[in-house]
Structure 1
């Protein structure tokens, strides 16, 4: 009997990945303008899971963070529609960011940094680099949770939807770009990278 090997994961183009992440937010924004927050919430839920399905079809894998975010969308979106209370969908970004921030900083505090499991296939860093990057991302996520709380409690629903659509991802993108000097400073040399991969039982990078 011959064993069937699983289909290898594929690399998704960054622009396509960005489009799949941005698409549900744009649908949320348009649906809110045309039919209100509850129709927008339902459309956002459908679009989120459609984007996940496309990610799986195109890349044969789904990253941890979009998967967790989609699970929170399902819970808070369902509560929003069931109870007809838009506070729940407004709380969703707070909960997601607080969860990511607490997980990153908590894992680091207990000596179990989680960021290498998320980004280890993209970046190869020295331990100090992972520590610093984890702290930065953990603080960033907590700051975004606080910012969402301030925004949704201070402005109209339409303004909050616009912030969620056109504010959150650009802020995240700018923050990610700002980490380039740290990534360059603590990047593993090719020899060290090969040794680290060998220690993990993984093939050397091409």
Structure 2
């Protein structure tokens, strides 16, 4: 559910970008959509509101969500302050590669458990080898998603990248969910039959 809610700021980013050149009146204030810059402002505001709403309703915030919002605010802030889209174009790569580093580092730092086991271990009972395989799949996923973002950012137009950002967020979320389910499902069946 959390990942679905995280798609809302991206959807608002996409919508604001699609409104480029349009002007609307909001409570007596005229807002002119100026492409990536207005879209970035919408992304930043929506992400901070999502973080605040999450904390307000649950009284806790996942570190991953906090990292995501931090990266959005920093890269978005630089994009707006310097009027240079390169910072927001790099945001998905920086975030995904940071997650890859954290997941990989969890194999060597702290407990013997990979980070994914620490996150989901209370919900799933899996052998250590499966947790490690799952962790490697997620690390590879984060690296691939970050690299794909750079390919699109540098090889295609800004408008194409904005569309890619929305649709790839949905597609890659489904992809990693399916990959995780494929790895985990045999063990879910085993645990149910052993009850």
Range class of TM-score, shorter chain: 0.7 to 0.9
Question: How much does 1:19 deviate?
Answer: 4.2
Say if 2:180 is the partner of 1:179: yes
Size of the alignment, in residue pairs? 177
1:148-187 residue CA offsets vs partner (Å, 9 max, x unmatched): 0101001111110111112123222222122213213345
Measure the CA separation in 2 of the matches of 1:45 and 1:32: 13
1:45 counterpart residue number? 44
Deviating beyond 6 angstroms after TM superposition, the runs of 4 or more aligned structure 1 residues are: none
Question: How much does 1:18 deviate?
Answer: 4.4
CA contact (8 A) 1:129 1:186 kept: no
Between 143-152 and 166-175, the greater mean CA deviation after superposition: 166-175
Q: Which runs of no fewer than 5 residues in structure 2 stay unpaired?
A: 20-32
Q: How does 1:153-172 map to 2 (within 5 A)?
A: 153-172=154-173
RMSD: 2.2
The correspondence for 2:10, drawn from 18, 25, 35, is 25
Aligned CA distance change for structure 1 residues 158 and 122 (closer, same or farther; 3 Å): farther
Question: How much does 1:122 deviate?
Answer: 3.7
CA contact (8 A) 2:7 2:169 kept: no
Question: How much does 1:134 deviate?
Answer: 0.4
2:132 counterpart residue number? 131
CA contact (8 A) 2:75 2:87 kept: yes
Paired residue secondary structure (2:61)? coil
2:145 counterpart residue number? 144
Measure the CA separation in 1 of the matches of 2:175 and 2:59: 28
Aligned CA distance change for structure 1 residues 74 and 84 (closer, same or farther; 3 Å): same
Measure the CA separation in 2 of the matches of 1:91 and 1:18: 20
Between 110-119 and 156-165, the greater mean CA deviation after superposition: 110-119
Measure the CA separation in 1 of the matches of 2:125 and 2:55: 24
Q: Which structure has the highest strand share of the two?
A: 2
1:87 counterpart residue number? 86
Measure the CA separation in 2 of the matches of 1:178 and 1:20: 21
Paired residue secondary structure (1:43)? helix
